[in-house]
Amino acid sequence: MTDTEGAAARRRVLLVDHSAFGRQALDELAPPVGFDSAVSAELLPQEEQDALQSLGVRYELATEGSGRG
């Protein structure tokens, strides 16, 4: 994403498999600090949720039927 595209985005969301949290590779690929929220399909451990919150990233659990239509 270019700087221009990023500036135009209203909301930056990190969609990630829950098993990727807590691994250094995730930080190298997409540091959570640049996102408004992070979404996973399975509940993250509390320490991971707390770490996201400390970075100002809102954590959301994806649930079936939670999409906007």
Above pLDDT 90, what percent of the chain? 13
**pLDDT averaged over every residue in the chain:** 75
Cα separations in angstroms, 4 against 7, 11, 15, 29: 5, 14, 21, 20
Q: Is 47 helix (H, G, I), strand (E, B) or coil?
A: helix
Confidence of residue 63 (pLDDT cuts 50, 70, 90): confident
Tens-digit pLDDT profile for residues 22-50 = 655 455 555 677 889 999 988 888 988 89
Sheet with 13-15: list strands edge to edge. Answer: 13-15, 37-40, 58-61
pTM, entire model: 0.63
**Overall average pLDDT of the 8-24 stretch:** 72
